[in-house]
Amino acid sequence: DDNVGLVLDALEKSIYADNTIVVLWSDHGFHLGEKRTFSKFSLWEEATRTPFIILDPRKKEGHGKACVETVGLINVYKTISDLANIETPDYVDGMSLAPWLVSPNKQLDRPAMTTWGRGNYSLRTKKWRYTRYFDGSEELYDVINDSNEWTNLANKSEHKELMQQLADRWLPKNEAPQVKSGRKLYNVVDADSPTRALKIFKNKSNEFKLLNLKPPLD
């Protein structure tokens, strides 16, 4: 925070204060015991939510206001291009968030999507988090009434239609081909080999049980 303040103070005193767009975000979140897990490799709230701030000195109507919609970092490219009046290549995904800098309460009719590993996707709206994994298993959380995501509602019949609507409209129908060359990152390899990752998890769970400890949630 201190270093961000130093940069912003210097910018404010410079000749560029009125024509510089400031965009601040972080990497993924991190579990510190929430849902009995640790680190960052999950599709739950702790690992997927990040700070995200955009300040355009020309859009004073939205200064100091928070957007109530859920958005994803995939939108950064198109947003900056839009604000800078730069044409965006056709292959760039996402959408421009420029309208929400002026009207933070403007409704957004699409969830934020997060993926980790082949076939694992999570959709986050203002009220729901819906997740479908590579093996077809599902999770649904009411994030307003269950912010810790403890109660999985996916097996409740009254939510089946909602889950199907989210899946049909927003989950990808096809995935990009798996990269076969380049440096192998251990977490990417695990994510792209879900059966292997599941076997590792089960072995770890057994180790926890032998120590009379609760295993991480699957």
Question: What single-letter amino acid sits at 43?
Answer: L
Q: Supply the pLDDT for residue 128.
A: 97
Half-sphere exposure for 43 (CA within 13 Å, toward CB): 25
- Whether domain 111-176 has CATH 3.30.1120.10: yes
How many Å apart are CA 218 and CA 200, to the nearest integer? Answer: 11
Q: Which residues of the chain have pLDDT under 70?
A: 178-198, 201, 213-218
Distance CA 170, CA 128 (A): 14
- What are the Cα distances from residue 24, in Å, to 117, 121, 139, 162, 169? 26, 25, 30, 33, 30
How high is the pLDDT of residue 43? 92
Report which of 13, 21, 107 is spatially closest to residue 59, judged by C-alpha positions. 21
- Comparing CA positions, the residue from 57, 59, 100, 58 lying closest to residue 76 is 100
Which token pair is 24?
């601040």
- H or E element in which residue 199 lies: helix 194-210
Structure token digits, residue 116:
């980790």
Q: Which amino acid is at 196?
A: R
Cβ neighbors of 42 (< 8 A, separation 6 or more) are 31, 35, 48, 116
Residue spans per domain, the chain: 1-108, 111-176, 184-218
Residue whose C-alpha is closest to residue 114's, from 71, 174, 78: 71
Q: What is the largest CA-CA distance in the chain?
A: 64
Both tokens assigned to 14? 């410079």
Instruction: Report the distance separating Cα 20 and Cα 84, nearest Å.
Output: 10
pLDDT of residue 97: 95
pLDDT tens-place string over residues 89-100: 999 999 999 999
Residues in Cβ contact with 113 at an 8 Å cutoff, skipping those fewer than 6 apart: 72, 74, 121, 122, 123, 124, 170
**Tens of pLDDT along 151-180?**
999 999 999 999 999 999 999 988 877 666
| pLDDT value of residue 211 | 74
- Among left, alpha and beta (phi > 0; psi -120 to 50; other), residue 213 is beta
How many residues in total does the chain contain?
218
pTM: 0.78
Residues 119 and 194 sit within 8 Å (Cβ to Cβ): yes
